[in-house]
Structure formats: structure tokens, C-alpha cells
Chains A and B, each alone.
Chain A
Amino acid sequence: MAASAALLLALVGGPLVALAVQSIVKDGRLSLDAYAAVIGRSLYYQALLNTLTVGIGSAVLAVVFGTPIAWAVARTDMPLRRAVRTTVTAAYIAPPFLLAIAYVILAAPNTGVLNTAIAGLLGVERGPFNAYTMPALVFVTSLHTFPVVFLLVAAALESVDASLEQAARVLGAGRVRTTLRITLPLVLPSILAGALLSFVSAIALFGSQAILGIPGRVYTLPTRVYQVLGYPPDFALASALSMLLVALTVVALALQRRRLGRHVAATIGGRGIGPEIVPLGRWRWAALAWCGAVLLVAVALPYAALGTVSLLRARPAGLVAGNVTLDNYVDVLLRLDVTQRAIGNSLLLGVITATVTLGLGIVLATIDLRTTLRGRRLLDYLALVPLGIPGIVLAVAILELWLRLPVNLYGTLLILLIAYVTRFIPLAVSSARAALGQVDTSLEESARIVGATWWTAQRRVTLPLARPALLAGWVLVFVPTIQELSASVLLFTPDTMTLAVAIFNFQDNGRIELVSAMGVVMLVLASVVVGAARRLAGRPVIGGVAGVPT
């Protein structure tokens, strides 16, 4: 208990204190100069406005994209519901910066595939799209965040007690009126929660903002932080900008918690009556068309573009005989030192981060669920704090903390590990809590009473029963770890290059064919791990072995 509390405090509290101090101390004296600069100079003020625009704009679009799909999948007889759900979930797992790179391929001014295609079709000189603008950034960001809205709203729609709606129908309300007056208000908290989480996720997406924003001089808080830490680095200014970003995040998360707390009890009736399915008739195809259109721009087009370009010798020549090659993959996997090292580092960090974080999560969840120790609520809260720290801010804070300490970690894999463990503690704690929470305490107690010590009961009963869910939690940390960019981009050195950073740097240098191949490699790595975990966990652990006579 004490050890895990101390570790949490060091991981979470230490960097934050360093960050706050750095932002208000100049030359050893208290100073608000950095904040004055942020508010007073239009380029930083503009970055704040741009960040808000990206956050709010993409949250609105995410609701527009996600809510109808959630309703169609959860509550109607639309065809292909399962396939739509799987694809939306997959879109959520894919790294956002790959989406941004794909949209560079698709919609860069003049050279973008969509632009040349439309120009060719209409016989005009140039196509209409420009990926390096604020609207494009908002759009591409929402394509990454709309699954959050989808997942929350679909879950809420599925947990609405059907009798609440049936009661309205019996009283004479039609299907449309019931949907608008009963169902919609019941899931409104989830829609708002989805929008707020989408906002929080969007404003922290350094990768998309750098890839789409910087070329068009659309700067946001994360990209300004990145910029002021170039040469010569201005840590005070970076800290003040970071604190601003933290403030936005914390406000949005606080709003989300309050909203969610208010109505959620009413939605979950849980008397075993499944939700009522609305027959759409001919409108089924309209619903499917909407889902298809969103998934076309969010998944099919971008990943088709990425996949195709990864097979080309030179992108401008296009998909013609003689230009198709596997050379890019050979380069990435076999020839280039830097990409091989990056892949190795990412896998190593992924495995260690997932294991360490989940271990810590299990300890914290056990303290919370199975003990009545004083202060366990506080511990729980502390473990959630990293949700409020965008990746690039965490990197700034960790740099500042470790630059003050006598041990030099900069340039080691350890500093990346510290950043990753801190970032993903909330994921691990909530997975571990869900996993252990589903194992009823009485299962453990009945082992104790027939003679098992606490540890034996954990080892023989609780952990085996929680294993599939714990494995899922491990994957849930592993996948974002190997895709982590926004903290890594400030902490890496050539020796500690990771796959995501390598992709980002190569993109910056215009090597789009190699970048695409690396992106595909990253997606394949993530899918392989997810698939393997599903096989392992999908084993009928609960429910007995087939073929036992009864």
C-alpha cells in the first residue's frame, strides 16, 4: 500500500510539480512572465484559440458521425450491424497520426489523390481539397474520435431498460415520439460525455496537429510547445503553454464526470429486458449508407491509400506496372538500421510497459476492491490524474523533473518507460478493477474458509478467474504504447527511436512511401497482438470444457 502510493505519487505528482514550478520561476525568482507571454503574444493566444476550435469542432462532428451509427447498430434492424461495430472499434484502435498521413496522401493541395482525381474528372486545373487547413484538421481529428461517442452511446442505448420505452408506448406515444422524448433524454448524458472525452482526446493529438497544421501555419498548443522546445529551448514558456492545456483538459473531464454522475442511474434498469429493436423498413438502407459513408472516409479511403502507397516505388507515378514494389517493406524490416531499431524499441517498451502498468493496476485495484484501508479512494483518484495530462505535457514535465535530478535519464529507454507507465496507469487500473470486480468476493472467501491463505486464494481462484479480462487489459496498454507519439517525440534520441517517432520523422522528410510501409507494419503488429490475445482469452475459461458428460 505505502509502496504503491509512493510510486504513484512519484510518477504522477513529481512531474506535475516540476512543471508548475518551472512555469512560475524565472532565474530563481517567482515570475509570471511566461504566462504574460502566453496571453500577451498573439501567436500563443492564437494557438489557444486554434486548440479550442480543434477540440470543439471535432467533438461536434464526432457526435454527428457517431450518434446515428450507435443508434443504428444498437437499436435497429439495419443489415451488417456487427461488421459496422467491429470496423468502428478498429478505427478507434488505429493511431491517429496515420490517419493524418493518409489525408496528406489523399488531400494535399494539388498533389493529393482526391485532388488530382477530381481535377482530371472535371477538367479543371486543381482539386478543391487542402489537407493543411483548420477545417481539414477538425475533420480528420473527428474521424479518430467519433468511435468514443459511438462506444458510449451504443452502450447506453443497449442498457436502456426496454420497459421505460414500453411504458411510453402503452400510454400512446408513437415510435418517433418515444425515441425523442424517452430514449434520447436517457442517453443524452452519454452523448455529452462522448463529446467531452472526444474534446479531451482531440486537443492532445500532437501528431495530427503537427502533420496537418504546421505546413499550413495552423498552430495549436501542443505544436507550439514542441516548437518552443526546439533550439534554444524555452522551458518556462513550454510549461506555461502546457499548464494551459492541462487546464482545458481538467475542466472538460470535470464537466464529463458531473454530467455522467447525474442521470446514469436511470438508464440502467437492468431487469433483464433487452432493448427493443426498431424495424426500419426501407430506411435500413439509408442508415447503412450513412454508416458506410462515415467508414469510407474514416477507414477505407485512408488505409487503402496508405496500403497502396506503401507498395509504390514513387508515389507521383501512381499505381502502374513497374512502379509496384515490396522494396519499402524490405527497407523498413531488413535494410534500414533506424527502422529496425525503432521496431525493436517499440516492442520492448510495449511489453515492459504493459506488464509493469498492469501489475501496478492489479495492486491498486485489489487495495480498492478488497480492503477498507484509509486513503484508498485518494489512491484511486491519483491513478486517474494522468488522464488530465496530454502526452506532450507529460513529456515536458518529465524532462523538467529529470533535468533537475542528479541522475541523467535523458537518452535512455528508461525515461520513455517512465513516461509510458505514467500515461497508461489509468487504463491499467480501470481494466484491472473491471477484471477483479467481476470475481465475486465470496469466491475468494470460500477458498479462505477451507484453509487457503490470502495469497493462495489470489493465486488459485481470483487471478485465474480474472485472467481473460486481465489479458485484455494488457493489450489495452500494449497497443497505445507501441503507437505513442506525443510524449515520445520530446523524449527520444537516435538510439531510443521508437516506431511512431520514426514514422513522424520520415514523414517530415517527405519519404511518404517508406512512411506508409512503416504505418502498415505498425497496424499489423497491433492487430497480431489483439488477435493473439483474443484467441487466448476467448478460450472457454468460464463455462466448462466441452464434452464432459453430465
Chain B
Amino acid sequence: MGRLRLDGVGLRYAGRDAPAVQDLYLDVADREFVALVGPSGCGKSTTLRLIAGFLKPDQGRILVDDVVLSEPGRSVPPERRSMGMVFQSFAIWPHLSVFDNVAFGLALRRLPDAAVRDRVRRMLAMVDLADFERAYPSQLSGGQQQRVALARSLVVEPRTLLLDEPLSSLDANLRDRMCGELKALQRRTGVTFVHVTHDQTEAIAVADRIAVMHGGRIEQLGTPREVYLRPANRTVADAMGAVNLVGAHVVGADGGGLTVRLDAHPELVLSVPASRRRPAGAEVLLAIRPEDVAIGERTAPGIDAVVEEASFRGTLSDHLVALSGAGKAPLRLRARTLGRQLFEIGHPVRVSVDGARCVLVD
């Protein structure tokens, strides 16, 4: 119940050259929580609206439990897909009370009044809104409206719940809390969730698997650890958070990996994991997360560097360090430390990079 499959789905909007989405293959297991992540315009919302049936693909098929819902020339209307959807604006009907908002879908199914009342109350209790059933949307906070939207979609027991940037209109603290609640709700209801967001930390926090989208395509599909720690290419590395991208050349093979020398700083020779062999002299691109660039006092091991920018972020501190090398322009790397380990601008430091944590992304 709830296995969702996209089979080569593509859509081109009338009058546009580039397709909005193309070659989408995605297999979401029953009860799985998948997030679609990418910058605005990458096609993630289009994908969601294709799944919902508000858009019709001109290529490929969309199936739930092996039943075709969309294919070119044939599309099951949204109301017959057994899905739920939560919109960025929440889209709570302002002319109906909380109770009536949630009861709307059940009433359409011609359930007896008592059953409707019972299920609405249980659902409202589940999202912690038991005391608000007679309130109107304008009397609710953003977080409460969000929960009404969830309750309204889940009360009809959909096979799949689609969430379109559901947290982006909430303030930061509430967003963190709702991430946890979303995940808990998904486990409790056993509904398949497809969640669209531009915020990679949100996706990492909620999803079982993440599909990173760019230019209308899925660039990588994997668990949060995979896409963050082992990005398939530089687009994915970039999309999943701050990253240093530096050019290097292969100088040799070693064990399961490669030895590379950084172009901008020949003293830096790293041994990095690699899935395939490359000849010596081959050009590669290295992705290094700021938290994998270690900085310490001049007594620590590493390469001499100077702090050029530093900003305290609370839990963390962000630095830009310049590694003085042999002539040429210095190599600049972003480095992240714990918040209290802030170095002053102009402070002389030593920098080291653990090659085992670097990723080849070319």
C-alpha cells in the first residue's frame, strides 16, 4: 500500500524551450519518507504536482502500487488518487472552522456523521489540536495552521502524502520542532511521504532517502548520509551544503584509493577514496566539507595559514583561511570549527585536511 513509482517522467511547459522535468526515475517504497531537494526552478514542485495529478506528464508513467495514475494522454484526476497534499501556504479554507476543514474529505466520502466526528477528533488529538475544533483559521498561529493542513490530509487515510515546502513559512525554531513532528507522524501513520524543500538540512532531518534535483533531473538518490558524505557530482555536493571545491592531479594509486596533489598548493598531497582507477596525471575535482578542514595553533601539525575571515555562529564558527604556498595566489579554504574555537582574523594557524573524508566529484 503506497509504493510510488516514476518511470521516465518528463514535462515541457507550453512555450518553453527547456523541459521543466525530464527522465525522472524514482521508486518510493511503502511507508518511506523521501525528500526532493534542490534550488528554486529545479523542477521539484513540478514533480510533486505531477504526482498529485495537477499536471499531466508528456513522457513516462506514474504508478502507485503498480496501478498507472498518469501517462501521456491519460491521467487519473487528483480527487481519485488517494493522496494528501500540504501546501506551502497551508491553504486552510478560511471560511470553515478547524473541524470542518478536517471533516471536508470525510464528508465527501459519505461517512455517517458519528464516524466523521470520531475520526476528526482522533486526528485533531494526534496533531495536538483537540481544543481548537471550533476555532477559525485566522485565530490560529502558523504552526497550528500547519497541523490543521496535516490533519486534513491525513484524516482521509491517503496512501501517499505530498508536502510542498511545508515548513518554509514557519519561523526557524518552529521549523526545527516540526521536522521532528513530521517524522514521528509519518512513523505513526505509516503513510508514504514525499516532501519537497529547498533546505537541505530540513531534508536531511526528515527523510529516509533524498533525491537531489537540478535542471529538471534527479542528480542523485540516496540516504541523507550518502548524498551528504558521498555526493555523486559537484552539483550534489554544492546543493547539500557549504563545500570547498578544489582542483587536483592524480599522482598515484594507493590501496583502494588515489593519491592526489592540490593544484593550488603542491605541498598538500592527500590520499582519497576513489571508486574507479585513474591514470597518473589525470585532472580531478575534490570536494572538501568545511568541517573536514581542521585548523589549530602553529604548534599543531599541518600547513601554515592565516585566518582571513571569521564569524561566530553560535554552535559553530566559520572561517576562511589562506594557505600560503609557493608563489601564485594562496589557496583559500572554508573551515568550520565548534563555536567556541573561534580564531581571530589575522591569526596565524596550521591547517590539515583528512584525505579519507574528501570526495572526488568530477
Residues of A within 8 A of B (CB): 372, 440, 442-443, 445-454, 456, 460-461, 464-465, 541-545, 548-550
Return A166 CB to nearest CB of chain B, in Å: 27
Given contacts A542-B94, A543-B94, contact A449 B89 (CB under 8 A): no
Number of A-B contacts (CB under 8 A): 91
A445 touches B104 (CB 8 A): no
B91 pairs with A460, CB closer than 8 A: no
27 A-B contacts (beta carbon < 8 Å)? A372-B14, A442-B87, A442-B88, A443-B93, A445-B87, A446-B85, A446-B87, A446-B91, A446-B149, A447-B93, A448-B78, A449-B79, A449-B85, A450-B84, A451-B80, A451-B108, A451-B156, A452-B104, A452-B105, A452-B108, A453-B79, A461-B93, A465-B94, A542-B94, A543-B94, A545-B136, A550-B140
Does any Cβ of A come within 8 Å of B135's Cβ?
Answer: yes
Which chain B positions have C-beta within 8 A of A446? Answer: 85, 87, 91, 93, 149, 152-153
A461 to B97, CA, bound (A): 13
In-complex Cβ contact of B138 among A442, A452, A544, A549 (8 A): A544
B95 close to chain A: CB less than 8 A: yes
List the B side residues contacting A460 at CB < 8 Å.
104
Other A-B pairs, 10, CB within 8 Å; known A443-B93, A450-B79, A550-B139? A445-B78, A445-B87, A445-B91, A448-B54, A449-B52, A451-B80, A465-B93, A544-B135, A544-B139, A548-B139
A440 to B169, CA, bound (A): 16
Chain A residue numbers with a CB within 8 Å of B162 are 449
Within the complex, the shortest CB–CB distance from A366 to chain B, in Å, comes to 16
- Flag whether B137 is at the interface (Cβ < 8 A): yes
Given the interface pairs A445-B54, A451-B105, A453-B79, the reply to whether A542 lies near B152 with Cβ below 8 Å is no
Contact between B108 and A450 (Cβ–Cβ < 8 Å)? yes
> Assuming the A-B contacts A545-B136, A548-B135, A549-B134, are A448 and B79 also in contact, with contact meaning beta carbons closer than 8 angstroms in the complex?
yes
> Which residues of chain A have C-beta atoms less than 8 A from B94's C-beta?
465, 542-544
Give the 8 A-B residue pairs with the shortest CB-CB distance, closest first. Answer: A544-B136, A450-B105, A442-B91, A448-B78, A442-B87, A449-B85, A446-B91, A451-B108
Q: With A and B bound together, what is the CA distance between A545 and B97 in angstroms?
A: 9
Give the chain B neighbours of A545 by CB distance below 8 A. 136
The answer to whether A465 and B104 have CB atoms under 8 Å apart is no
Q: Which residues of A contact B87 (CB under 8 A)?
A: 442, 445-446
Q: A318 CA to B89 CA in the complex, in Å?
A: 65
Best-buried of A450, A461, A464, A543 by chain B (most CB within 10 Å):
A450
Is B81 interfacial (CB-CB < 8 Å)?
A: yes
Nearest opposing residue in chain A for B139, CB measure: A550
Chain B residues at the A interface, C-beta cutoff of 8 Å: 14, 52, 54, 77-81, 83-85, 87-89, 91, 93-95, 97, 104-105, 108-109, 132, 134-140, 149, 152-153, 156, 162
In the complex, what distance in Å separates the CA atom of A548 from the CA atom of B138? 11
**B46 → A minimal CB distance (Å):** 14
> Do B79 and A451 touch (CB < 8 A)?
yes
Contacting residue for B137 out of A372, A456, A541, A544, CB 8 A: A544
Task: Verify B85–A445 contact, CB threshold 8 A.
Answer: yes
> Known contacts A442-B89, A443-B91: does B77 contact A450 (CB below 8 Å)?
no
C-alpha spacing A548/B96, complex, angstroms: 13
When distances are taken between beta carbons in the complex, the residues of chain B under 8 Å from A541 are 95
Min distance, Cβ B79 to any Cβ of chain A, angstroms: 5
The answer to whether B156 touches A450 (Cβ under 8 A) is yes
Bound: A160/B320 CA distance, A: 42
* Chain A residues whose C-beta falls within 8 Å of the C-beta of B89 in the assembled complex: 440, 442
B97 to nearest A CB, angstroms?
A: 8
Cα distance A542–B132 when bound, in Å? 18
Residue of A whose beta carbon sits closest to that of B162: A449
A320 to B138, CA, bound (A): 59
- Inter-chain CA distance A454–B54, complex, in Å, is 11
Residues of A within 8 Å of B153, CB to CB, are 446, 449-450
Question: Is B78 touching A449 in the complex (CB atoms < 8 A)?
Answer: yes
Please give, as numbers and ranges, the residues of chain A lying within 8 Å of B14 by CB-CB distance. 372
A219 to B105, CA, bound (A): 65
Inter-chain contacts of B139 with A (CB < 8 A): 544, 548, 550
Of the listed residues B77, B87, B138, the one surrounded by the most CB atoms of chain A closer than 10 A to its CB is B87
Verify B152–A451 contact, CB threshold 8 A.
Answer: no
Q: Which residues of B contact A448 (CB under 8 A)?
A: 54, 77-79
Q: Which residues of the partner chain B approach A443 to less than 8 Å between Cβ atoms? A: 91, 93
- The CA of A548 and the CA of B94, in the complex, are separated in Å by 14
Contact B78 A550 (CB under 8 A): no
Docked complex Cα distance between A19 and B97 (Å): 55
Chain B residue contacts of A542, Cβ below 8 A: 94-95, 138
Q: Is B84 within 8 A of A449, CB to CB?
A: yes
Q: Which residues of chain B have C-beta atoms less than 8 A from A372's C-beta?
A: 14
With A and B bound together, what is the CA distance between A381 and B291 in angstroms? 59
Task: Out of B83, B88, B109, B136, name the residue touching A449 (CB < 8 Å).
Answer: B83
Decide if B136 touches A450 in the complex (CB within 8 Å).
no
Task: Give CA–CA (A543, B78) in the complex, Å.
Answer: 29
Q: Across the interface, which residues of B come within 8 angstroms of A442, CB to CB?
A: 87-89, 91
Which residue from B95, B109, B137 sits with its C-beta under 8 Å from A451? B109
Most buried by A among B81, B93, B153: B93
Contact A450–B104 (Cβ < 8 Å): yes
With a cutoff of 8 Å between Cβ atoms, the chain A residues found around residue B97 in the complex are: 544, 548
Q: How far is the CA of A545 from the CA of B137 in the complex (A)?
A: 11
Q: How far is the CA of A464 from the CA of B94 in the complex (A)?
A: 10
Contacts of B85 in A (CB 8 A): 445-446, 449
Closest to B100 in A: A460
Q: Using Cβ atoms and an 8 Å threshold, which residues of chain B touch A451?
A: 79-80, 105, 108-109, 156
Contact between A543 and B138 (Cβ–Cβ < 8 Å)? yes
Say how far B14's CB is from chain A's closest CB, in angstroms: 7
Point out the residues of chain A lying under 8 angstroms from B108, CB to CB: 450-452, 456
Min CB–CB distance A467 → chain B (angstroms): 9
Indicate if the CB atoms of B91 and A465 lie closer than 8 Å: no
Chain A CB within 10 Å, residue with most, of B87, B95, B135, B153 = B95
Q: What distance in Å separates the Cβ of B115 from its nearest Cβ neighbour in chain A?
A: 15
Tell me how far the C-beta of A320 lies from the nearest C-beta in chain B, rounded to whole angstroms.
57
Contacts of A548 in B (CB 8 A): 97, 134-136, 139
Q: In the docked arrangement, what's the CA distance between A372 and B55, Å?
A: 11
Given contacts A447-B104, A450-B104, A451-B79, contact A543 B136 (CB under 8 A): yes
List, in ascending order, chain A residues with CB within 8 A of B156's CB: 450-451
Smallest CB gap from A448: residue in B = B78
- Residues of B with C-beta under 8 A to A454: 77
Smallest Cβ-Cβ distance to A450: which chain B residue: B105
Query: Which residue of A has the minimal Cβ distance to B156?
Result: A450
* Nearest A residue to B105, CB-CB: A450
A548 to B109, alpha carbons, bound, how many Å? 28
Residues of B with C-beta under 8 A to A447? 93, 104
Known: A372-B14, A447-B104, A450-B104. A464 touches B95 (CB 8 A): yes
Q: How far is the CA of A466 from the CA of B140 in the complex (A)?
A: 22
Q: Which of these, A449, A452, A453, A543, contacts B81 with CB under 8 Å?
A: A449
What chain B residues lie within 8 Å of A544 (beta carbons)?
94, 97, 135-139
Minimum CB–CB distance for B340 against chain A, Å: 38
